[in-house]
Structure 1
Amino acid sequence: MTTAPRPILFVSLPESGLLNPMLVLARELARRGTPDLWFATDEPRRADVQGSAGRTPVEFASLGEVFSELSAVSWSDEVYREVTQSSRFKAHRAVIRQSYRPDLQAEKYRRLESVVAKIDPALMVIESMSSFAVDLALTRNIPFVLSVPFLPSNVLTSHNPFGSSYTPKSFPVPHSGLPYPMNFGQRLGNMLFKLRTLALFLNPGMGKVLSEDNRIRKELGLPAASPMTRIDRAEMVLCNSVPELDYPFDVPEKMKLVGAVMPPLPEASGAADDGLGAWLDARSSVVYMGFGTITRLTREQVGALVEVARRLDGRHDVLWKLPEEQQHLLPAPESLPGNLRIESWLPSQLDVLAHPAVAVFFTHGGGNGFHEGVYFGKPLVVRPLWVDCFDQAVRGRDFGISLTLDRPQTVDPDDVVDKLTRVLDDPSFRRRAERLGGLQRAAGGRVRAADLILDLPALSRPGSSDRTPVQN
């Protein structure tokens, strides 16, 4: 008698930086013919999930509309300024105050609860920011894998100075942008960052939110909130990085560092790129500027970046992914330099980064962009946006693969051109990026991640070892 396979349920928040690696992994399992794949996220990502079919489909499970309070792309301009301010702790505090919403997390929990009751998953694969899904897996005793699109230390280092942590006590706290090892002043700043985070929850306003969280958790029968529970209780932690891109520490055995999780390339056909591929083919050195989906530039910053392209004219071409809703900030078309190409949308950023003409990636330094640029051996210039971007930036600088703008909150053309020129003219940046890219590719990416998931005991069943061979 054979046992019918039970589903694998992926759960993610809808932000591209969190969801996209999960989609790549779900599509890899679908390509292999893995049955009963489900993906739960917010309604606007329905088409992305339903376009993931391979030999088997990936079924979409809706968690309803996006809650704007939990989605950085929909925050007000005032909140955006607070979470991207120059003080790293104040920006970190603003993110917590904006996104710590127990009532909304509870609503997502209830919606996911109905999905789980319907499909009865054998395993959940949960993006690391989806705390409501971790709570549900723990409450229902469902084995789960945690998916991490950040540096490994991001989820293994406690913000609480008295809490348990998988990294040394002297390790830089996430979002601090501090190096390792540190001098005395930096160690003091690191401890103050932790103490101020702890004190944040002693504030009367946040205390009320914490009390609400405790009440809701008791009502839903959830375990007490603990930052490391998601690590301790996971069957496995899949991290889209490699040890060499983080400061050294002993990574726990359950964390599998598989490098950037990339789809098969090219992602887009030549007909879909509106001549972009031919444009790249005709260039010898291209600066690619892409600042993610959250960055909101001012008119002055847009003008400064146009000036950067102008100053590079004759030496380098510039490809700039600038969202359509920000293009009204551009100067008159006739005043744009001839070496600048602006696109509101790219069929595939990965195809662009993979192109041999792209010599440097000018980025906001988010987890995906940082790892993707290095995966393709591209050195970086980083204008850190917020929270984890400063952590990636300081590691890239210390590992010799990137430089960081002196004043990231503004865009000074002198500073940007200086950093770009130094990275472009010094071949050591590219050599080190190519070495680290090779380590990422050797880590296995989506293929190894899929293998690791299918080998978990939670999916063991008669015939489970008869997997279709993978074509890389």
Structure 2
Amino acid sequence: MRNIPGVTCVALIISVLVNILGSHGGKILVFPVDGSHWVNMNLLIKGLHARNHNITVVRSTSSWYVKEKSIHYTSITIPLPEVISIEDQDFFVSFLQKMLEIQQGGASVLAFISFYWEMLTSLSEIHRQASQLVVEMFRNALLMQSLQDTQFDLVLMDPGLPGGVLVAHQLQLPTVFNVRWITSGEGHFIVAPSPVSYVPTSGYAVPDKMTFTQRAKNMFHYFLNICIDTFVVSPHYNRLCTQYFGPDTNFYHLLQSIDIWLMRVDFVFEFPRPTMPNIVYIGGFQCKPSKALPSDLEEFVQSSGDHGVVIMSLGTLVKGLPIEITSEIAAAFAQIPQKVIWRHLGEQPKKLGNNTLLVHWMPQNDLLGHPKVKAFVAHGGTNGIYEAIYHGVPVVGLPLLFDQFENLLRLELRGAAKVLDVTKLTSQGFLQALQDVLQDPSYRSNMERLSRLHRDKPLQPLDSAFFWIEFVMRHKGAAHLRTESCKMPWYAYHSLDVISFLIVSVLAVLATVAAMFHILCCRPCRTRKLKQE
């Protein structure tokens, strides 16, 4: 990409200033979420460690990504009475298999209701288990005293499992969220105005320009999310708030009072929406220039000639796809002239072509940055989407769970992706989608435009994250950027009390006028009647 000299100069100056300001070392307590979320948090930890900060990570004994020993941080391992379900590697695979059965129509209405009841029960159980980490920490007086004595400067956390908010409140420490998702869905909905007339609700994949029916469904999903958070998730944390801080402390208000929200969003990709001064946008902060491929992989890529390469990764969830679906995908790959590198776990698909290389792991970012890669078949995870945008590679989308449907819809609306329903996938349908993306130059040109917009910033997202983390450390918080909304009751926030007062006042005035009119009109009539009598 060609840079404007002035912008480049400003970026260099800001980068130098950020490094100078961040040269002092601080003490940061980190509460991560395991799984793919850890990839993002670990990147911040490594960068903060390189900037001379001392990092302490709180993990459970069942953590499978968050290792106990690292050169970048020291860890505090909390033994829990039971494993948090979300930290079980097979949890999402099992969940996907059940979801696919429902979507394919192979289950009765009773089975459908049973599945969603089981899903809500599992969600409640996950947060009950996660809240036990707070209980175990608070019960350990020596640990809490040690944390107090360490005099941390900051708590950095992923609020997907938000127990660390209570610990930060107990230690009276400023807090920064590394966030996209919270207990009630997308993070904006708890901290910024989110009109559901044009802001799609978490879990409902629609554009920001909605029809009446879509707006009605969007509002329904919004209230459904509120109900789930109010009655399924938050009670586990509110119970702890009452137990340790008294009845006046509300968990929802603790979330709203966070100093800085590092939001993993870029409006090149996200729909425009209202925001707040303490939200910092760092979407794509994990993206970086590609490095050279391992020699064997480079040799395979070069063997593709002018046709190029298609890469595919559905993460670990591919293990949950039936062999019938993966075999349809393999059959389609076998019919294209491009070479294919497919990150695949589990049973080998049938009809696998000679042009397809199955691997258990691949350097995804480095492959996406390779000039011979022509398309990316992806499930729509946020990390993969931003890497595709960064490198300008168009996408064939196979969304499986959660926000993947919304992510790929946004990309499709921008003309940079073709999205398929995995439950209705056939080899010919998948082949047609591949050919559309490979042969229609508009997909690549649209994605390259997004890439130019995404890269054109005075300060790169990762540097912005470091600046604001250290800003909070230097100033012991960022209270001046928070609104008073977190201290307002819901009826005052929505001005329902004012609206009610105005309605009553108007009705009172109208009633008074009507009464006076009645008196004035009726008095002459009574007078005339009396005279006549």
Q: Distance in 1 between matches of 2:155 and 2:134?
A: 14
Give CA-to-partner distance per residue, 1:32-65, whole Å, 9 cap, x none: 3x131222234445775744x4xxx422232447
Match of 1:97 among 111, 116, 121: 121
Which sections of structure 2, spanning at least 5 residues, go unmatched? 1-23, 105-111, 478-533
* Aligned residue pairs, count: 426
Q: Distance in 1 between matches of 2:377 and 2:64?
A: 27
**RMSD across aligned positions (CA):** 3.3
Q: CA deviation at 1:140?
A: 2.9
Name 1:262's counterpart in structure 2: 286
Match of 2:133 among 93, 99, 108: 108
Match of 1:306 among 311, 325, 330: 330
Q: Distance in 2 between matches of 1:80 and 1:143?
A: 37
Match of 2:55 among 8, 29, 37: 37
Rate the CA distance shift 1:155–1:62 in 2: closer, same or farther, 3 A.
same
1:61-460 superposed matches below 5 A = 61-64=76-79, 67-71=83-87, 73-75=89-91, 79-83=95-99, 85-86=102-103, 95-101=119-125, 102-111=127-136, 117-118=146-147, 119-149=150-180, 154-157=186-189, 165-170=192-197, 171-198=199-226, 214-221=238-245, 223-226=249-252, 229-230=254-255, 232-262=256-286, 266=290, 273=294, 275-283=296-304, 284=306, 285-295=308-318, 296-312=320-336, 314=337, 316-323=338-345, 326=346, 328-331=347-350, 336-346=352-362, 348-405=363-420, 407-443=421-457, 444-458=460-474
Rate the CA distance shift 1:410–1:73 in 2: closer, same or farther, 3 A.
farther
Q: Distance in 1 between matches of 2:168 and 2:471?
A: 19
Rate the CA distance shift 1:122–1:380 in 2: closer, same or farther, 3 A.
same
Question: Which structure has more RCO (C-alpha within 8 Å, separation ≥ 6)?
Answer: 1
Letter in 2 for 1:452: W
* CA contact 2:343–2:360 (8 Å) conserved in 1: yes
* CA contact 2:203–2:403 (8 Å) conserved in 1: yes
Letter in 2 for 1:225: F
Rate the CA distance shift 1:431–1:394 in 2: closer, same or farther, 3 A.
same
Q: Distance in 1 between matches of 2:55 and 2:204?
A: 38
Q: Distance in 2 between matches of 1:229 and 1:86?
A: 37
Question: Normalization by structure 1: what TM-score?
Answer: 0.80
* CA contact 1:72–1:294 (8 Å) conserved in 2: no
Q: Distance in 1 between matches of 2:262 and 2:415?
A: 26
Q: CA deviation at 1:147?
A: 0.7
Q: Indicate the SS of the match to 2:251.
A: coil
Q: CA deviation at 1:310?
A: 0.9
Q: Indicate the SS of the match to 1:41.
A: strand
Q: Distance in 2 between matches of 1:274 and 1:61?
A: 39
Q: Distance in 1 between matches of 2:92 and 2:413?
A: 34
Rate the CA distance shift 1:338–1:423 in 2: closer, same or farther, 3 A.
same
Give CA-to-partner distance per residue, 1:400-436, whole Å, 9 cap, x none: 211210x223432222122221112222222222222
Q: CA deviation at 1:201?
A: 7.3
Q: CA deviation at 1:110?
A: 3.5
Letter in 2 for 1:260: G
Letter in 2 for 1:412: T
Whichever of the two has the greater Rg, that structure is 2
Q: Distance in 2 between matches of 1:309 and 1:58?
A: 43
Which sections of structure 1, spanning at least 5 residues, go unmatched? 159-163, 462-472
Q: CA deviation at 1:339?
A: 0.9
Q: Distance in 2 between matches of 1:13 and 1:260?
A: 18
Give CA-to-partner distance per residue, 1:56-99, whole Å, 9 cap, x none: x4222324478342236332765333455539x98887654322
Q: CA deviation at 1:144?
A: 0.9
Question: Normalization by structure 2: what TM-score?
Answer: 0.71
**By percentage of residues, which structure has more helix?**
2
Q: Indicate the SS of the match to 2:186.
A: helix
